[in-house]
Amino acid sequence: MKKSNSTTATSATVLAAAAKLRDRVDELDFSTTIPWVYNPLRYAWAAHQQYVQRYARSATRTLLLGMNPGPWGMAQTGVPFGEVNIVVDWLKIDAPIGKPPAEHIKRPIEGLQCRRSEVSGRRLWGLFRERFESPAKFFENHFVANYCPLVFMEESARNLTPDKLPALMRQPLEAICDEHLSELVEALRPKWVIGVGGFAEDCVKRVLAARPPQGFAVQTGRILHPSPASPAANRDWAGTASQQLVAQGVWSQ
């Protein structure tokens, strides 16, 4: 399908904002407290670029926002919630994936050859694939992004989410990510911004309150995060998330 000029301009704006985000978070120093930090917008930039250029478009009805990359999802593929099989087989991303400057032995970056499956991404994109059948139908009215592009790990390789960072590190990161989210909303002009989980919803509300969009209204909402760490998510997550989107008026029955 040939892209319109407005879609091409929008994807270019979104990509430029992502490049600025990529570079600005790389200037932050977490080394005194956090031993391992990956930036997939750096080493998986070509894949992220493909994702944005193909699928970001203006007047996106619904922007779904996650927290930050998972070790077997976006960390491997450069795509938000990017479970490898979905990224390769459904989204048809085929870009080369590089390596971070230093890798934890338990969290190697194997890119699109990674055999591990990110459960959160498999659930999220699996719901979209089942409901919309093709990426073209899904992205006609949706886009998926993350609030923070960085992966944080403890020495044990345990995942560390952005909300658990020390305040002196979290606050500068939030300032950068808040600005990027504002730029993303201005570029996509969504009717809805839906947080995937409570943290993302809180970020959306904070950013929209501090930087109200110009010339259009945005409604906010939330769906249950698909993480297997959540007992509720392990009981028919797809059904629960669908019901939440219908109840909020984002999806029709």
87-125: pLDDT as tens digits = 999 999 999 999 999 999 999 999 999 999 999 999 999
Residue 43 contacts by C-beta under 8 Å, 6 or more apart in sequence?
Answer: 97, 98, 99, 100, 109
- Separation CA 187–CA 15 (nearest Å): 10
Helices (H), the chain: 5-26, 40-43, 45-55, 74-77, 84-85, 119-132, 135-139, 167-188, 198-210, 237-247
Contact call for residues 109 and 100 (beta carbons, < 8 A): yes
Comparing CA positions, the residue from 52, 95, 55, 97 lying closest to residue 72 is: 97
Element holding 73 (H helix, E strand): none
pLDDT at 6 over 80: no
Q: What are phi and psi of 196, to 5 degrees?
A: -90, 90
Q: Which residue has the tokens 């590190």?
A: 169
pLDDT value at position 8? 87
Q: Is the Cβ–Cβ distance between 41 and 177 less than 8 Å? A: no
Query: Residue 165: its pLDDT value, please?
Result: 95
Q: How is residue 12 written in tokens?
A: 């270019």
What is the overall mean pLDDT for the chain?
96
pLDDT computed for residue 7 by the predictor? 65
Rounded CA-CA distance 104/111 in Å is 15
* pLDDT beyond 70 at 133: yes
**Percentage above 70 pLDDT, the chain:** 97
Percent of the chain at pLDDT exceeding 90: 95
Query: Using one digit for the tens of pLDDT, what is the confidence trace for 155-191?
Result: 999 999 999 999 999 999 999 999 999 999 999 999 9
Confidence of residue 2 (pLDDT cuts 50, 70, 90): low
Give the SS3 label for residue 36: strand
Q: What is the pLDDT of residue 211?
A: 95
> Pairing mode, if any, of strands 62-66 and 219-223?
unpaired
Q: Assess whether pLDDT exceeds 80 at residue 4.
A: no
Distance CA 167, CA 182 (A): 22
Q: What does pTM read for this prediction?
A: 0.96
Of the candidates 25, 4, 32, which has an alpha carbon nearest to the alpha carbon of residue 179?
25
Of residues 35 and 3, more confidently modeled: 35
- Tell me: pLDDT of 3 over 80: no
